Amino acid sequence: RSAKLTDPERRPGSLKGFVNEMRMVAMKLHTKDQAKEGMQEKSTLPITEWKPKQSDFVQFLADSLHVYEYFEEELMVADSPHPEYARFADTGLERVASLKTDLAYLASLGNPTPPPTAAATKYVDYLKSLEAKPEAVICHWYNYYFAHTAGGRMIGRKMQDQLFEGRELAFYMWEEDVSDILNRVRGVIDEVAGDWPRDVKDDCLEETGLSFAYSGTVLSNLAK
Ligand code: HEM
């Protein structure tokens, strides 16, 4: 028997690398109606029943912008004092510019950009409290950016159809095939986390619940 099979520090999915462990923890936190790997009870209002107005969608974009700006302009910057954060600058997943494009378009339709709600400001306040804990920040970054490329894109298609006659919004477009970007970024996460001791990896995985809780409040702008 290989030593690995009896290693008490082994976690689900860990043989395939750390980002795979992060994904397994995240998938279990989905509700059963959100994703087939989801383990949580069905949502009270599944996305098939969401009927937000354009103004709710603008608020969702404004809240998203507040969070993405913090990640892209304060945390994951090339000259960050934390070398781990610099590895996540300019990955191709950045969303600030695309959100500004969409918000300008919506303003031209008569929906001016509102200030962020407490959902977004509280999330950023929480992220500020984590700045010196790369393992926790990277968990939030992974979940926030990867969620947007998965469930976020499904929601985007629905919103484009319901509210914009199918017009494609920039928030849901990337300059490269997004699966190529994700694969590259998975490699970066595995490199950055590769030599973290088990307890640091576990601290990172443990942030997943809070990442769902905070992004869920931003998303709840649409769940109506
Ligand atoms: C992946 C749906 C909310 C984090 C996925 C997948 C689906 C999905 C269908 C793809 C599973 C696959 O690979 O086949 C949804 C829906 C949501 C939602 C419908 C809300 C209505 C969230 C939230 C988070 C999150 C709030 C965390 C902040 C992730 C992550 C992945 C994922 C990290 C893995 C992405 C990857 O491996 O590329 N989601 N999700 N999701 N979701 Fe969600």
Cβ(135)–Cβ(189) below 8 Å: no
Cα 160 to Cα 20: distance, rounded to the nearest angstrom: 31
Q: How confident is the model at residue 121 (pLDDT cuts 50, 70, 90)?
A: very high
What are the structure tokens assigned to 153, written together? 């894109």
Pocket test for ligand 1, best of 16, 27, 68 (most atoms within 8 A of CB): 27
Q: pLDDT by residue (tens digit) across 145-188?
A: 999 999 999 999 999 999 999 999 999 999 999 999 999 999 99
The half-sphere exposure of 165 on its side-chain side, counting CA atoms within 13 A, is 0
Show the ligand 1 pocket: residues with CB < 6 angstroms.
Answer: 23, 26, 30, 34-35, 47, 143-144, 146-147, 150-151, 154, 182, 211-212, 215-216
In the predicted structure, residue 1 carries a pLDDT above the cut 90 = no
ipTM of this complex:
0.94
Q: pLDDT by residue (tens digit) across 62-90?
A: 999 999 999 999 999 999 999 999 999 99
State the chain's mean pLDDT as an integer: 95
Taken in order of first residue, the domains within the chain and their CATH numbers are: 53-219 (1.20.910.10)
Cβ(71)–Cβ(144) below 8 Å: yes
Contacts of residue 171, Cβ cutoff 8 Å, sequence gap at least 6: 61, 64, 95, 98, 99, 102, 156
Cα 84 to Cα 102: distance, rounded to the nearest angstrom: 30
In the predicted structure, residue 220 carries a pLDDT above the cut 50 = yes
Residue 192 per-residue DSSP state: H
In the predicted structure, residue 5 carries a pLDDT above the cut 90 = no
Pocket test for ligand 1, best of 34, 42, 45, 222 (most atoms within 8 A of CB): 34
Residue 120 per-residue DSSP state: H
User: Residue 143 C-alpha to ligand 1 middle, in angstroms?
Assistant: 8
Cα 51 to Cα 96: distance, rounded to the nearest angstrom: 25
Cα 39 to Cα 29: distance, rounded to the nearest angstrom: 6
User: Residue 6 C-alpha to ligand 1 middle, in angstroms?
Assistant: 31
Cα 17 to Cα 193: distance, rounded to the nearest angstrom: 9
